[in-house]
A and B are shown apart, each in its own frame.
Chain A
Amino acid sequence: MKNILPIVTIVLALIVIWYGAAFKMNSTWTYDQAARAGTEVTFSDLLRDTMQQSRPLLPAPHQIASELWNTTVEKKITSKRSMVYQGMITLKTTLLGFVFGIVIGVALATVIVLSRVGRLTLMPWAIISQTIPIVALAPIIVVLSNAVGTGTLMVPKAIIAAYLSFYPVLVSMVKGLTSPDQMQLDLLRTYGARQSDVFWKLRLPSSMPYFFASLKVAVAASFVGAVVAELSTSAISGLGARMLIGSQFGEPMIMWAALFAAAILAGLLIFLVGSFEKAARHLMGGRAL
């Protein structure tokens, strides 16, 4: 970890800039209050007030940290105000969407690799699908899945997450399944191998490193999808919904806490999937891409 020193420096610098910005942005309100009360503000008053407003324009980092602490450790995890409770809901959506995304991505990649018509037909649409802003489709997806009778919001949210996460898997799997070179394919031909044998014994195993490498991107995409879904389907639970509620009730602290909770959760997910990828690659003989 030779990068640890530069990273820590950058993060510290960002925090310092943040404090500066919080001081600057929140001071307007302090001056307004003082002008209304007809008092003068000294610099130390100003400093104290900008760091502890209850509805700041930009909360100071320690305020966010304490709000996060309050809403994770000090609240019961069954409470609706608990970020752990809300995070679990977003996590469930993410994982469900992630699984959907993997299944769809692998299935489509298989069709694309095995059939020429499949490739010609599906590949352009797969690319187009990612240029369509999914948020525009979100309300429709909710209505349609309600009409089909899924009952909860979980399924439409997971569909939106899957919509964003299947693509990296698809692209990597197409690359992976076509990665065996002509020599290897010819060898199997001399063995008289059938198409299905070529697929199961050569193509699939050689696609595995690509598959594992795509998982990290896919899980991040799925998480973004889950939050976007919560923001755009007027969900009432989940981290995205907390942001919405914070916005509607004018409680910026809730928004910021939810935002940071989301960042922490995303970091954890990416780290976990990344470690899984490393372990899997190690088990399969450590071939790096």
Chain B
Amino acid sequence: MSRLDTRAEQVLWPLGFGVLVLALWEFGVRLFGVSPAILPPPSAIFAAILSSGPTLWEDWVQTVVKGALNGLWMGTLAALILAVIIDRFVFLKRGLLPVANFFAALPIVGLAPIMVMWFGFDWHSKAAVVAVMVFFPMLVNMLGGLAAVDTMQRDLMRTYAASHTQTLLKLRGPAALPFLFNGLKIATSLALIGAIVAEYFGSPIRGMGFRISTEMGRLATDMVWAEIVVSAVTGTALYGIVSAIEKRVTFWHPSQRG
């Protein structure tokens, strides 16, 4: 544990592990003659990705861009605005925080069928599910973040005769950023889950959730895996983007300087 990890080690070990798993998978499937309907080898999945690019792209736009990302910004924006308002009133905050905390732990994804009933089959219902799903974790994180300055810093702002808005913009807002990014990391993976689940309850004839359920129905497992790969890459990429922005924006925070 004493030796420091080099950059190469940090990349090569996990990469090597991934390659090993893929190799074992490919080898195992061929050796035991597993039916491709149950578990296709990685090479077949890769072939499926290459041969059905346009379909995958269409599904990706429908589910990720229209459903998940729209819902993500709506839910996040709503949570931000509400957090700033609630934060002004101690009474509201004391009442809403426990309620929001409780909601954040609930399986809100269960709202999916109701949202499909309200907003129809297209991406609007998916965005609505995602917006509600990401709203509560974002709200809880933002309220936590806005409270994350200590008395000394607050007092300093008071001695400057700073107004509430000034304190919010120059001290508490920036101090809340690490919490905001924490919330966003949770929210991006929730957004994909919400957008895909909502498609199981009805969707136009495109979208990743739609494709997974129909291709599964006709045992085209390689296509299902292709969608899984796309969703996995998307999820990881979204997380990576949030982390990268976090690094750029909150470079001053102890967790980023380590």
Q: Kindly provide the distance from the CB of B235 to the nearest chain A CB, expressed in whole angstroms.
A: 4
Chain A proximity mask over B204-239: 1 for CB below 8 Å, otherwise 0: 000011001100100001001101100110011011
Q: Does A124 contact B (CB under 8 A)?
A: yes
Q: Kindly provide the distance from the CB of A62 to the nearest chain B CB, expressed in whole angstroms.
A: 18
Chain B proximity mask over A130-157: 1 for CB below 8 Å, otherwise 0: 1111111101100110010000000000
Q: Are B5 and A120 in contact (CB under 8 A)?
A: yes
Which residues of B3-27 have CB atoms within 8 Å of chain A's CB atoms?
Answer: 3, 5, 9-10, 13-14, 16-18
Q: How far is the CA of A11 from the CA of B92 in the complex (A)?
A: 11
Residue tally, chain B, CB below 8 Å to A: 57
| Chain A, interface SS category | helix
Q: Does A188 contact B (CB under 8 A)?
A: no
Q: Does A88 contact B (CB under 8 A)?
A: no
Q: Does A255 contact B (CB under 8 A)?
A: yes
Q: Are B196 and A133 in contact (CB under 8 A)?
A: yes
Q: Are B38 and A143 in contact (CB under 8 A)?
A: yes
Known: A134-B193, A140-B224, A232-B197. A224 touches B107 (CB 8 A): yes
Known: A220-B105, A259-B111. A3 touches B192 (CB 8 A): no
Chain B proximity mask over A213-234: 1 for CB below 8 Å, otherwise 0: 0000000100110011001100
Q: Give the most central of B98, B200, B238: most A CB within 10 Å.
A: B200
* Nearest B residue to A185, CB-CB: B1
* Nearest B residue to A118, CB-CB: B13
Residues of B within 8 A of A239 (CB): 110
Q: Does A288 contact B (CB under 8 A)?
A: no
Chain A proximity mask over B99-122: 1 for CB below 8 Å, otherwise 0: 100100111011111101110000
Q: Does B95 contact A (CB under 8 A)?
A: yes
Q: Are A262 and B196 in contact (CB under 8 A)?
A: no
Q: Does A57 contact B (CB under 8 A)?
A: yes
Contact of B235 among A123, A131, A223, A252 (CB under 8 A): A131
Q: How far is the CA of A132 from the CA of B225 in the complex (A)?
A: 13
Q: How far is the CA of A140 from the CA of B95 in the complex (A)?
A: 42
The range of chain A's interface size is 35 or more
Q: Kindly provide the distance from the CB of A205 to the nearest chain B CB, expressed in whole angstroms.
A: 19
Residues of B within 8 A of A130 (CB): 189
Q: Kindly provide the distance from the CB of A230 to the nearest chain B CB, expressed in whole angstroms.
A: 9
Q: Give the most central of A131, A147, A267: most B CB within 10 Å.
A: A131
Residues of B within 8 A of A10 (CB): 92, 95-96, 99
Contact of A128 among B5, B10, B107, B236 (CB under 8 A): B236
Residues of A within 8 A of B107 (CB): 223-224, 227-228, 240, 262, 266
Residues of A within 8 A of B118 (CB): 57
Q: How far is the CA of A231 from the CA of B114 in the complex (A)?
A: 13
Which of A102-110, A241-249, A278-286 touches B?
A: A241-249
Q: Are B231 and A133 in contact (CB under 8 A)?
A: yes
Q: Does A117 contact B (CB under 8 A)?
A: yes
Q: Does A270 contact B (CB under 8 A)?
A: yes
Q: Does A125 contact B (CB under 8 A)?
A: yes
Q: Does A258 contact B (CB under 8 A)?
A: yes
Q: Are B231 and A243 in contact (CB under 8 A)?
A: no
Q: Are A133 and B189 in contact (CB under 8 A)?
A: yes
* Nearest A residue to B227, CB-CB: A136
Q: Kindly provide the distance from the CB of A57 to the nearest chain B CB, expressed in whole angstroms.
A: 7
Q: Does A65 contact B (CB under 8 A)?
A: no
Q: Does A256 contact B (CB under 8 A)?
A: yes
Q: Kindly provide the distance from the CB of A26 to the nearest chain B CB, expressed in whole angstroms.
A: 12
Q: How far is the CA of A228 from the CA of B192 in the complex (A)?
A: 13
Residues of A within 8 A of B92 (CB): 6, 10
Q: Give the most central of B110, B118, B213, B221: most A CB within 10 Å.
A: B110
Q: Are B105 and A117 in contact (CB under 8 A)?
A: no
Chain A proximity mask over B178-193: 1 for CB below 8 Å, otherwise 0: 0000000000110011
Which residues of A16-71 have CB atoms within 8 Å of chain B's CB atoms?
Answer: 57
Q: Are B196 and A136 in contact (CB under 8 A)?
A: yes
Residues of B within 8 A of A2 (CB): 94
Q: Are A243 and B110 in contact (CB under 8 A)?
A: yes
Top 10 A-B pairs, shortest CB-CB distance: A6-B95, A247-B113, A10-B95, A131-B235, A120-B13, A227-B107, A133-B192, A220-B105, A6-B94, A124-B14
Could you name 22 residue pairs across A and B whose Cβ atoms are closer than 8 Å? A9-B91, A11-B99, A121-B13, A121-B16, A121-B17, A123-B14, A124-B10, A124-B14, A125-B18, A128-B236, A136-B208, A140-B221, A147-B39, A224-B105, A224-B106, A227-B107, A231-B109, A232-B200, A259-B114, A262-B107, A262-B110, A270-B105
Which residues does A use to contact B, with CB under 8 Å?
2-3, 5-11, 14, 57, 116-117, 120-125, 127-128, 130-137, 139-140, 143-144, 147, 220, 223-224, 227-228, 231-232, 239-240, 243-244, 246-247, 252, 255-256, 258-259, 262-263, 266-267, 270
Instruction: Kindly list 18 other residue pairs between chains A and B, CB separation below 8 angstroms, not including A57-B117, A121-B17.
Output: A3-B95, A9-B91, A14-B99, A116-B3, A117-B13, A120-B14, A125-B17, A125-B18, A128-B236, A131-B235, A133-B235, A134-B193, A136-B227, A140-B221, A255-B113, A256-B114, A259-B111, A270-B102
